[in-house]
Structure 1
Amino acid sequence: MAVIVELSLPPESFPLGTMLTAGTDLHIEFERIVPVGADVVPIFWAWDGDLDAFEERVGDDTNVQQLVAIDQVEDRRLYLLNWDIPAGAFLEGLTTTEGIIRNAHGYGDEDWEFELLFPSQDQLTKFHNVSRENEIEYTLGKMHSLSEAGASELANIVTDKQREAIVLAFQRGYFMTPRKVTLSELATELDITQQSLSNRIRNGIEAIVEHMLFGASEH
């Protein structure tokens, strides 16, 4: 059965994060990262800092093949990064265990916070062993199984804010064709940015779909 875990990781154990935030006050938030073979091509948001200087610094890193700014919403800029994973890095454990980063956030020199999804408990155990072999230290937080969470426990799958956003979008006709309301109008009603609302709806729906697919696969 699929397993979701939360963990925190010091910057020195996450070379990619260290490269992105070193010596800055930037906030970095990854979109979902799905390793494919030996390749990990992350997409992430960056904000609260000199993004032009950030692009120049990261682009000069020897591990970086390409950094592309693909979108901007207000003061947040969305990037795609092609890079080489250093041997023994944290992401190596994910590529060998088919793990998925559902969410990750880092700020300056503080610890990185992750929410990870593994196909099974065995893969999570393997990830733990690979991390220990590579001397990757992390602090494990909450852990639960998707297939163990029934429909009555959906609150454990989505956050209160995600549920609020999805319910409001449904009630106002956002999912209808044609749509009865715009994302901007919904964001104004909730008094949040359009990007924040988009993230809540997308992440909440993805979590629900994962719950349904992984749970059903075990029956």
Structure 2
Amino acid sequence: MATLVEFSLPATDFALGRLLTADSEIEIEFERIVPVGSNAIPLFFAWNDDLDAFEQRVRANDHVREFSKIEELGDRRLYLLNWNIPDGGFFEGFTTAETIIRSAYGYDSHAWEFEVLFPSQDDLTTFHNHCRENEIPYTLGQIHTLSEAGDDLVESILTEKQRDALLLALQHGYFQTPRQVTLSELADEFDISQQSLSDLIRRGNEALLEHALLGSSRDTSPD
């Protein structure tokens, strides 16, 4: 059974946190992380500090194989990072357990916050045992199984802002063809920027699709 887990970890207690945010004012938010053997390739936004200096510091790290700027949106930059995961590290637990990181946010040396989808209870146990064996002190938050029904299921999949954004878009005909409202008009009513609302809608849709496709496929017997 697929399980959605929230937990946090100080930036100074894992290699990627030390690399990206420790001892700086950089803020990081993951868009996607794809496990590839012994490597992990996170796609993430960075902002709130000297990004040119940030790029130089990251590229100089011995674990970094490739670091590319994909796009620049206002004061944010989108990066792709290909790096070698240190043995016994926090992210090695993710690749060992074949997890899907739905969200990750880090700032300065404060604790990073993660929301992770484990395809099965065995994967969650594998990850926990890896952290215990390597003395990785993460703090566990909420745990949800994706077989929950009704409002509890929606709350386990979507953040409150994602749910509100999707509901607003649905009620105003944003998903109809042709659309009955523009993204700009919705953003004005939601009182956030157009880019922020677009991110909420996209991530909300992605979360629902992950549950519908990944979650249900785990419970379906082969023909």
| TM-score (norm: length of structure 1) | 0.91
Aligned to 1:156: 156
| 1:11, distance to aligned residue in structure 2 (A) | 1.8
Aligned to 1:126: 126
Using the alignment, how far apart are the partners of 1:125 and 1:85 within structure 2? 20
Amino acid at match of 2:149: G
Instruction: Report if the CA contact (8 A) 2:183-2:194 is conserved.
Output: yes
Aligned to 1:21: 21
Aligned to 1:218: 219
Identity across matched positions, percent? 58
Aligned to 2:10: 10
| 1:178, distance to aligned residue in structure 2 (A) | 4.5
Aligned to 1:50: 50
**What is the DSSP-based 3-state SS (H/G/I as helix, E as strand, rest coil) of the residue aligned with 2:96?**
helix
| 1:66, distance to aligned residue in structure 2 (A) | 1.9
Relative to structure 2, which stretch is displaced further, 109-118 or 68-77? 68-77
Amino acid at match of 2:82: N
The 1:163/1:137 distance shift into structure 2, 3 A limit, reads same
Relative to structure 2, which stretch is displaced further, 199-208 or 105-114? 199-208
**What is the DSSP-based 3-state SS (H/G/I as helix, E as strand, rest coil) of the residue aligned with 1:175?**
coil
Instruction: Report if the CA contact (8 A) 2:101-2:115 is conserved.
Output: yes
Q: Any gaps of 5 or more consecutive residues in structure 1?
A: none
What's the CA shift string for 1:59-113, capped at 9, x where partnerless?
A: 1112112221111222111111111111111111111111111111111011111
**What is the DSSP-based 3-state SS (H/G/I as helix, E as strand, rest coil) of the residue aligned with 1:33?**
strand
**What is the DSSP-based 3-state SS (H/G/I as helix, E as strand, rest coil) of the residue aligned with 1:169?**
helix
Using the alignment, how far apart are the partners of 1:25 and 1:127 within structure 2? 29
| 1:171, distance to aligned residue in structure 2 (A) | 3.1
Using the alignment, how far apart are the partners of 1:114 and 1:125 within structure 2? 17
Using the alignment, how far apart are the partners of 2:80 and 2:135 within structure 1? 28
| 1:203, distance to aligned residue in structure 2 (A) | 1.8
Aligned to 2:117: 117
Instruction: Report if the CA contact (8 A) 1:34-1:99 is conserved.
Output: no
| 1:177, distance to aligned residue in structure 2 (A) | 4.0
Aligned to 1:100: 100
Relative to structure 2, which stretch is displaced further, 133-142 or 152-161? 152-161
Runs of 4+ in structure 1 deviating by more than 6 angstroms, as ranges, are none
Aligned to 2:174: 174
What's the CA shift string for 1:140-192, capped at 9, x where partnerless?
A: 11101002x11343233212211121122223333334444443332232121
| TM-score (norm: length of structure 2) | 0.90
Aligned residues: 218
Structure number having the greater strand percentage? 2
Relative to structure 2, which stretch is displaced further, 87-96 or 5-14? 5-14
Q: Any gaps of 5 or more consecutive residues in structure 2?
A: none
Using the alignment, how far apart are the partners of 1:179 and 1:69 within structure 2? 33
What's the CA shift string for 1:3-24, capped at 9, x where partnerless?
A: 1111111223221121011321
